[in-house]
């Protein structure tokens, strides 16, 4: 694909800083300087109001994710993985509807409204409620017909409540629970799925006016977690605006485009995409996905275009585009936000 003159997403004729990555393991091509118009503070007020925060109010969120995984698995190189994850997402949907949200302490809501402190911060002491969701997911998978998930559910049987809390601690801390890395890689997605269900249910019970302004837009205003990816939206009140999607509670929040989602730099942001993604199979299926990389902090996060793929679902499409992650990693960037349904595990011993 020719990385020459093109029209960027904001309608400005420019040469975007886009690095095209080989569909295989090829080298990264020339970096082209970016000249993209960025709104100045005085111009922002000239535009129509838009929601700064969008709470996860769709009761079909996890069902939609399961359907999207099933759709993406058809003909995909990682079809088996996507099919398994679709069944895990279906278990999330069943657990989500199995019980109502717990009451959020009034003090936490007041601190959120008045001081911008995330009311459901993952760093606060966890209530044991999330383990009810984990147990529901475990029981669903253990009685299901997917061997990989049945085995993971059976391995989870060996962990008591304290052990499961340790897995959650490891997920939030980016580490491994215990000494058995392979077991952790199998059970961590189940624990991550339960944490998502619990936090999403709680976030959905909040009102928009419960959320105050926070000092940093790089973390979720509801739970302080990192985003899984960002999306250029198309809804009438969000048209052409970028929203970050929380990896834990599914809340969306606005962030100005061409801004690093980790360090907020606007000077060294570049975009990486798969070479030939517009024309060639199988990569044309993910032409709506790019890696937004920062040369200041050397991190990246994916950015999706809903205009190019209206049916996309962030959690599913993120895992269907792992090739982009691998190549971006090889280009020297570290991913800044997790996907709680996926644990890479450990490499095979030589």
The per-residue pLDDT for 276 is: 53
Tell whether 62 is covered by a domain. Answer: no
Tell whether 97 is covered by a domain. Answer: yes
- Residue of 106, 99, 153, 97 whose CA lies nearest to 128: 99
pTM of the model: 0.85
Dihedrals phi, psi of 323, to nearest 5 degrees: -60, -40
Tell whether 253 is covered by a domain. Answer: no
The per-residue pLDDT for 22 is: 44
Alpha-carbon span 245 to 273, nearest angstrom: 20
Structural domain range at position 137 = 76-209
**Per-residue pLDDT tens over the stretch 221-269:** 999 999 999 999 988 888 889 999 999 999 999 999 999 999 999 999 9
- Residue of 7, 34, 10 whose CA lies nearest to 256: 10
Of residues 177 and 106, more confidently modeled: 106
Tell whether 122 is covered by a domain. Answer: yes
The per-residue pLDDT for 344 is: 65
Alpha helices in the chain (DSSP H): 41-44, 61-73, 79-96, 106-115, 130-142, 147-156, 161-173, 181-204, 314-319, 322-330
Tell me how many domains the chain contains.
1
Alpha-carbon span 156 to 276, nearest angstrom: 42
- Residue of 208, 205, 90, 196 whose CA lies nearest to 149: 90
Spatial CB neighbours of 89, under 8 Å, sequence gap ≥ 6: 62, 63, 65, 66, 69, 193, 315, 316, 341
**Residue 309 pLDDT level (bands cut at 50, 70, 90):** very high
Q: Is the pLDDT of residue 346 over 70?
A: no
Tell whether 256 is covered by a domain. Answer: no
Q: Is the pLDDT of residue 125 over 60?
A: yes
Tell whether 145 is covered by a domain. Answer: yes
Task: Please answer whether residues 187 and 159 qualify as being in contact, where contact means their C-beta atoms are separated by less than 8 angstroms.
Answer: yes
β pairing state of 269-274 and 252-254? unpaired
Among 38-42, 96-100, 271-275, the range scoring the smallest mean pLDDT is 38-42
Alpha-carbon span 229 to 247, nearest angstrom: 8
For tokens 């400005």, the residue is 12
Task: Output the CA angle 226-232-233, nearest 5 degrees.
Answer: 110
Query: Once rounded to an integer, what is the mean pLDDT over residues 188-197?
Result: 98
For tokens 């079809």, the residue is 79
Tell whether 16 is covered by a domain. Answer: no
Tell whether 59 is covered by a domain. Answer: no
Which domain CATH number covers 95? 3.90.1670.10
Task: Please answer whether residues 160 and 171 qualify as being in contact, where contact means their C-beta atoms are separated by less than 8 angstroms.
Answer: no
Query: Once rounded to an integer, what is the mean pLDDT over residues 96-125?
Result: 94
Spatial CB neighbours of 341, under 8 Å, sequence gap ≥ 6: 85, 88, 89, 189, 192, 193, 196, 315, 319
The per-residue pLDDT for 285 is: 52
**Residue 338 pLDDT level (bands cut at 50, 70, 90):** very high
Q: Is the pLDDT of residue 311 over 60?
A: yes
DSSP secondary structure code for residue 233 in this structure: -
- Six-digit token pair at 21? 């990555």
């Amino acid at each position: 694909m020719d990385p020459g003159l093109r029209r960027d997403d904001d309608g400005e004729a420019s040469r975007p800083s886009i690095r095209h990555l080989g569909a295989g393991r090829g080298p990264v091509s020339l970096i082209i300087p970016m000249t993209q118009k960025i709104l100045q503070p005085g111009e922002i007020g000239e535009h129509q109001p838009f929601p700064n925060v969008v709470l996860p109010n769709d009761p079909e969120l996890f069902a939609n994710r399961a359907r999207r995984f099933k759709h993406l698995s058809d003909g995909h190189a990682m079809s088996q993985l996507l099919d398994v994850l679709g069944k895990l997402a279906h278990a999330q949907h069943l657990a989500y509807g199995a019980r109502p949200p717990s009451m959020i302490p009034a003090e936490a809501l007041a601190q959120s409204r008045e001081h911008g402190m995330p009311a459901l911060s993952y760093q606060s002491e966890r209530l044991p409620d999330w383990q009810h969701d984990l147990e529901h997911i475990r029981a669903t998978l253990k009685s299901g017909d997917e061997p990989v998930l049945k085995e993971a559910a059976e391995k989870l049987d060996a962990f008591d409540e304290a052990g499961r809390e340790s897995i959650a601690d490891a997920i939030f801390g980016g580490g491994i629970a215990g000494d058995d890395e392979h077991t952790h890689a199998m059970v961590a997605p189940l624990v991550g799925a339960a944490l998502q269900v619990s936090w999403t249910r709680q976030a959905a019970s909040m009102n928009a006016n419960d959320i105050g302004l926070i000092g940093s837009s790089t973390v979720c205003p509801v739970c302080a977690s990192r985003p899984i990816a960002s999306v250029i939206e198309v809804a009438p009140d969000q048209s052409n605006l970028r929203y970050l999607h929380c990896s834990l509670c599914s809340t969306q929040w606005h962030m100005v485009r061409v801004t690093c989602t980790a360090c907020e730099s606007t000077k060294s942001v570049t975009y990486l995409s798969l070479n030939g993604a517009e024309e060639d199979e199988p990569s044309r299926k993910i032409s709506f996905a790019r890696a937004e990389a920062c040369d200041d902090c050397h991190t990246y996060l994916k950015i999706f275009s809903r205009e190019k793929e209206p049916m996309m679902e962030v959690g599913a499409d993120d895992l269907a585009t792992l090739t982009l992650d691998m190549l971006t990693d090889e280009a020297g960037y570290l991913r800044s936000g997790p996907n709680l349904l996926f644990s890479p595990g450990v490499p095979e011993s030589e």
